[in-house]
Amino acid sequence: MKNILILSRISLGIIFIWYGMLKFFPELSPAEILATKTIDILFFGLIPAVISIKLLAVWEVFVGIGLVFGIYLRYALILFFIHMVFTFTPLFLLPELCFTKAPYAFTLVGQYIVKNVVFILVGILIYKEKFNKIVSV
C-alpha cells in the first residue's frame, strides 16, 4: 500500500508540474481561458489575466514539486486542497462552459473539472498516510 501511495503522490505531482508549466507559456494550456475567467470572477477583476495565470502556474508547480519530492508536503497538500476547491467553482460561475445540459451533461471542460474528484481522493490518501498513519485493514 505504501509503495502505491508513493507512486500516486509522485504521479499527481508530475501532473501538477506539467499542467503548471504549460500556464507559463501563453495559449499553451488548454485550461488558460477557463482559469483566467474563473479567477477574474472570483477576484472581481482585480488581477489582470496575464498575472493571474502566472500566479496559478507558480502555485501548481510548487504543489507538484512538493508532491514529487515530498518536501514541504503538508504545505503542498494544503495548497493542493485549496486549489481543488477552486477548480469546482466554474461549474457554478461558468455553467455555459461546463455543461451542454446542466447538471448532468458535461462539456469537455466540465469533464476536465470533474476528474478532480479522483485527484482529491488521492490527495486525502496521501495526507492520511503521511500525517495520520492509515491503519491497515
CA distance 14 to 61: 9
Q: How confident is the model at residue 137 (pLDDT cuts 50, 70, 90)?
A: very low
Question: Is 38 within the bounds of a domain?
Answer: yes
Q: Is residue 25 part of a domain?
A: yes
Residue 2 has pLDDT above 90, yes or no: no
Q: Give the model's pLDDT for residue 136.
A: 53
Residue 77 has pLDDT above 60, yes or no: yes
**Mean pLDDT, to the nearest integer, of 57-63?**
98
Please state the domain count of the chain: 1
SS3 content of the chain, % helix, strand, coil (to 5): 75, 5, 25
Whether the predicted pLDDT of 78 surpasses 70 = yes
Query: Does the residue 90 lie in any domain?
Result: yes
Range of the domain at 34: 2-132
- Compute the distance between CA of residue 103 and CA of residue 122 in angstroms, rounded to an integer: 25
Specify if 137 maps to a domain.
no
Distance of alpha carbon 50 from alpha carbon 115, whole angstroms: 26
